[in-house]
């Protein structure tokens, strides 16, 4: 009923607008004066490990990729990320210096659970990140960090992706703090996390993509591109669009375009560029220019105040200036809102996309 949806047309859009409160819940008790604090991992010797394997599916896998880029930027630890349906069947090497993190919103995804069992048999310690209290994954792992997003009804993960990111940033920061790797930039990241609920609220007040979407909804293909920590943002943008609007969206690290996918581009194949003003911006800009040269329409997400982008992109969506590590967090709601309104305007029910279940409990 509409009452359950708090007056919103669908759970998905309600859940997107709940993101500020969801973040607040994820942060409660987890930032102390001394810095990030996750009591759940106090028992783990994260001071000595040099390898982390992260396993997940779908959106949770994209959150895992953000974690990899984040942590590897600040410390020399190998973070390996894999989709659970591959991980469970390959020979994964675990030693005393390896920690495993399994991410699953539902805590019931069959492949992710089986991956946990596989590494447990090899003696690994597993940290689960989940949203559902008492879910199977919490019982099979050595520790659980709850993402505290509240129930998510829409099949498309929205506020739980945001909270996965928040919890993974906190986890990464806790590891860095424990290992005495701390910097002014990390302090800024942490501050940004604290302020992000208000930043989201402000963004939600002003964002209006409807006109843009009523135009773009008519295309049959989209190419999402991003680089570095925002390559996963491109993957997540494409997944959201595919799963609820049934548009063929593909995502590439922007530097891969010229190794094949650029052949697809023409005026019927828009490029959705994730292009915040970060250290890879100039590289992104050339990739956007290359796409433009193939007459593809360009829709770009960039940082407020970036004026020059309007000369190469056909449409621009601005996000507030943020620390470079944090762009995946501020851009995520934009790609979610975009997918939501495309689906809604095409007359599809984004809460119940065809062929999909909220959690995939069978292989």
Out of 98, 109, 196, 306, name the contact with ligand AGP by CB under 6 A: 109
Contact window for ligand AGP (CB under 6 A) among 152-160, 280-288, 301-309, 321-329: 152-160
E-assigned strands of 194-314? Answer: 221-226, 248-253, 271-274, 298-303
Structure tokens at 195: 């302020």
Residues 6+ apart with CB under 8 A from 7: none
Write down the least CB distance from residue 90 to ligand AGP, Å: 19
Both structure tokens of 157: 């993960």
Catalytic residue flag (residue 358): yes
Which residues within the stretch 111-130 sit at the binding site for ligand AGP (CB under 6 A)?
A: 112
For ligand AGP, the closer of residues 225 and 360 by Cβ is 360
CB-based contacts of 323: which residues, under 8 Å, 6+ apart? 185, 188, 189, 192
**Which CB, 12 or 316, lies closer to ligand AGP?**
12
Per-residue x/- track, 229-258, ligand AGP (CB under 6 A): --------------x---------------
- Asked if 104 is part of the footprint of ligand AGP (rule: CB under 6 A), the reply reads yes
Confirm or reject binding of residue 156 to ligand AGP (CB under 6 A): yes
Rounded Cα distance, 166 and 284, in Å: 25
Distance CA 231, CA 224 (A): 9
Q: What sign results for the dihedral spanned by CA atoms 363, 111, 354, 154?
A: positive
Q: Compare residues 160 and 291 and give the one whose CB is closer to ligand AGP.
A: 160
**Is 6 strand, coil or helix?**
coil
HEC string for 50-65 = CEEEEEECHHHHHHHH
Say whether residue 322 binds ligand AGP (CB under 6 A): no
The position carrying tokens 């604090």 is 37
Distances (CA, A) of 241 to 154, 161, 181, 197, 330: 14, 15, 38, 25, 18
Contact, 53 vs 80, CB < 8 A?
yes
Part in contact with ligand AGP (CB under 6 A); list of ranges 39-47, 98-106, 216-224, 304-312: 98-106
Total residues in contact with ligand AGP, by rule CB under 6 A: 15
Q: Determine the Cα–Cα distance for residues 145 and 107; give it in Å rounded to an integer.
A: 11
105 binds ligand AGP (CB under 6 A): yes
* Residue nearest to ligand AGP as judged by C-beta position: 58
Return the number of the residue (33 or 362) whose C-beta is nearest ligand AGP: 362
Residue 136 near ligand AGP by CB under 6 A: no
Strand partners, 35: 32
CB of residue 345 to ligand AGP, shortest distance in Å: 19
Segment near ligand AGP (CB under 6 A), from 32-40, 71-79, 101-109, 246-254? Answer: 101-109
Determine the Cα–Cα distance for residues 327 and 320; give it in Å rounded to an integer. Answer: 9
Is position 157 an interface residue for ligand AGP (rule: CB under 6 A)?
Answer: yes
Distances (CA, A) of 267 to 188, 252, 271, 294, 295: 41, 18, 10, 8, 5
CB 344 → ligand AGP: shortest distance, Å?
Answer: 16
* Minimum distance of ligand AGP from residue 240's CB (angstroms): 7
**Binding track over 52-81 against ligand AGP, x by CB under 6 A:** -----xxxx---------------------
Q: Which residue, 331, 325, 282, 342, is CA-closest to 304?
A: 331
Q: Binding of ligand AGP at residue 360 (CB under 6 A)?
A: yes
Residues with catalytic roles: 358
* Positions in the binding site for ligand AGP (CB under 6 A): 57-60, 104-106, 109, 112, 155-157, 243, 359-360
């Amino acid at each position: 009923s509409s009452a359950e949806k708090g007056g919103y047309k669908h759970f998905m859009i309600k859940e997107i607008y709940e993101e500020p409160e969801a973040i607040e819940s994820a942060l409660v008790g987890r930032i102390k004066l001394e810095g990030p604090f996750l009591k759940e991992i106090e028992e783990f010797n994260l001071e000595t490990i040099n390898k982390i394997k992260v396993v997940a599916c779908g959106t949770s896998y994209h959150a895992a990729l953000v974690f990899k880029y984040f942590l590897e930027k600040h410390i020399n630890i190998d973070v390996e990320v894999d989709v659970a349906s591959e991980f469970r069947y390959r020979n994964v090497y675990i030693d005393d210096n390896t920690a495993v993190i399994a991410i699953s919103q539902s805590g019931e995804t069959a492949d992710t659970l089986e991956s946990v069992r596989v590494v447990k048999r090899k003696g690994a310690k597993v940290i689960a990140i989940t949203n559902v209290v008492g879910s199977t994954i919490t019982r099979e792992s050595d520790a659980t960090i709850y993402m505290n997003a509240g129930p998510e009804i829409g099949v498309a993960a929205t506020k739980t992706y945001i909270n996965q990111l928040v919890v993974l940033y906190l986890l990464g920061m806790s590891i860095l703090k424990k290992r005495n790797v701390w910097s002014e930039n990390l302090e800024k990241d942490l501050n940004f996390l604290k302020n992000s609920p208000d930043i989201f609220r402000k963004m939600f007040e002003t964002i209006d993509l409807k006109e843009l979407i009523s135009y773009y909804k008519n295309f049959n293909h989209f190419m999402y591109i991003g680089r570095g920590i925002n390559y996963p943002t491109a993957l997540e943008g494409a997944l959201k669009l595919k799963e609820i609007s049934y548009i063929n969206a593909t995502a590439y690290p922007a530097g891969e375009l010229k190794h094949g996918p650029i052949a697809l581009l023409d005026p019927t194949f828009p490029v959705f560029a994730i292009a915040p003003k970060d250290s890879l911006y100039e590289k992104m800009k050339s990739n956007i220019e290359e796409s433009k040269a193939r007459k593809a329409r360009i829709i770009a997400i960039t940082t407020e105040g970036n004026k020059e982008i309007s000369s190469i992109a056909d449409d621009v969506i601005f996000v507030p200036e943020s620390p470079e590590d944090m762009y995946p967090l501020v851009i995520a709601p934009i790609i979610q809102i975009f997918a939501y309104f495309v689906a809604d305007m095409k007359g599809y029910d984004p809460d119940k996309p065809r062929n999909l279940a909220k959690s995939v409990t069978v292989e």
